[in-house]
Structure 1
Amino acid sequence: MSVPRLLVVTDRTQAARPLPEVVAGAVAAGARAVLLRDKDLPAADRAALAHDLRAVLDPVGGLLVWGGAASAPAGLPVHLSAADPFPPVRPPLVGRSCHSAAELARAAAEGCDWVTLSPYGATASKPGYGPALGPAGLAALVRGAPPVLALGGVRPGDVADCLAAGASGIAVMGPAMRDPAVVAGYCAALAAAPAPARRWVGTDGGRV
């Protein structure tokens, strides 16, 4: 499994249609990695939703990531919040949400495979995490961190600047939930930008 360059994050409260339909639209537009967030759902409902999303992703070789470690199905990658403890049994891939240098350092020490770093830009979905980082703030934090996916207020036109600042990729939630066709713009921007030169040695010895 490799670290995604584009991670679509779910939020059914912003979704224009039922979540499986939105994810199907995002996959049709080029998405190949989806983080199932929606942690407020009962465990059984969330597991059923994960099953539906895997039915969309599996035919294209896509990756489903479980938000948090609690109740995570065996074998699924997980993405931890900034406060979550690291799982006692390591999943195949582990990401973590970060908003500061201290949180990035913790994720690096844990051997996380990637981190999301937010907020890159102004966004209503990431209140209370300080001012927008922008390219300069992103560049100041990525050194020594696991591969960084810039999150929060990132538009397709920002992708090149994010990668130039040292990000390995992009995570997107609201825009993709409201209009999954926008994912095509992110994919095109990622394809047009040079691949990041950074290399990270993961806990399994693999390089990404």
Structure 2
Amino acid sequence: MNLNGWQTYLVTQESISAGRSTQAIVEAAIAGGIDVVQLREKDTSAQQRYELGRELRSITAAHDIPLIVNDRVDIALAIDADGVHVGQSDLPVSVVREQLGTDALIGCSAATVDEATAAVDAGADYLGVGAVYGTTSKKVAGTKNGIGTDRVAKIVDAVDVPVIGIGGITADNAAAVIEAGATGVAVISEITAADDPTTATQTLAASITEVDHHV
């Protein structure tokens, strides 16, 4: 699987979807060209996440879109997801690798160069770096105002795996994250809270593809 093609990454959160189901948001995002979907839904029970995950696995598989599960290795295994994304306070990457095997995709959140290099050394396939900008939907200690694109660039320079920027990213500021060297951007509210998630996904993707990587 080519992770270097992950330009747009949707993290699900039904609580900000204006009453629409996560399934509907994911289908709309896929219609708009989303590259990867992460099942997050931290405010739901394990059973609810499992049931939702089974449905999302069916939807994403039909379109050949990777499905990543946030934190929960057990749910990822149960629904045959493509991988797991862990944070700094979750199971260590090395342990997740032992449980999921060599073929699974493992992402890890990082806000510093040290966190990033440690995650890659432990076997992370990609990094979720942020919060790049200030955000209300993803709380990261010490990043209330965002780590900024300069930090993203430093992390990109320090690792040899794809870096996905996350946190406060919109179609208006995504280009700066890509210009800093990130492979792509992950969003929650930019797509989920949009009046038209399909159009929002297309707009986000367009803002990234316009970036000249040779600048």
Q: What's the TM-score once normalised by structure 2's chain length?
A: 0.83
1:20 aligns with 2:23: yes
2: distance between equivalents of 1:9 and 1:68? Answer: 12
2: distance between equivalents of 1:138 and 1:77? Answer: 23
Aligned residue for 1:200?
Answer: none
Aligned residue for 2:82?
Answer: 76
Q: How does 1:1-208 map to 2 (within 5 A)?
A: 1-3=1-3, 4-16=6-18, 17-71=20-74, 72-73=76-77, 74=80, 76-84=82-90, 85-86=92-93, 87=96, 88-89=98-99, 90=101, 92-127=104-139, 128-130=141-143, 131-145=145-159, 146-179=161-194, 180=197, 181-194=199-212
Alignment: residue pair count: 197
Unaligned 5+ segments in structure 1 are 198-208
Change (3 A) 1:75 1:138: closer
Deviation at 1:51, TM superposition (A): 1.6
1:37-91 superposed Cα distances (whole Å, 9 cap, x missing partner): 1234333321211121123222221111111143122453111112222212335
2: distance between equivalents of 1:135 and 1:70? Answer: 30
Give the % identical residues.
Answer: 26
Range that drifts further, 158-167 or 188-197: 188-197
Change (3 A) 1:101 1:52: same
Could you tell me which amino acid in structure 2 is paired with residue 143 of structure 1? D
Unaligned 5+ segments in structure 2 are none
2: distance between equivalents of 1:103 and 1:121? Answer: 18
1:8–1:35 CA contact under 8 A, matched in 2: yes
C-alpha RMSD of the superposition: 2.1
Deviation at 1:196, TM superposition (A): 8.1
Could you tell me which amino acid in structure 2 is paired with residue 58 of structure 1? A
Q: Classify the secondary structure of the residue corresponding to 1:155.
A: coil
Q: What's the TM-score once normalised by structure 1's chain length?
A: 0.85
Deviation at 1:112, TM superposition (A): 0.8
1: distance between equivalents of 2:37 and 2:22? Answer: 11
1:131-163 superposed Cα distances (whole Å, 9 cap, x missing partner): 322222322232122311110111112222212
1: distance between equivalents of 2:89 and 2:2? Answer: 24
Greater per-residue helix proportion: 2
2: distance between equivalents of 1:75 and 1:7? Answer: 15
Change (3 A) 1:67 1:196: farther
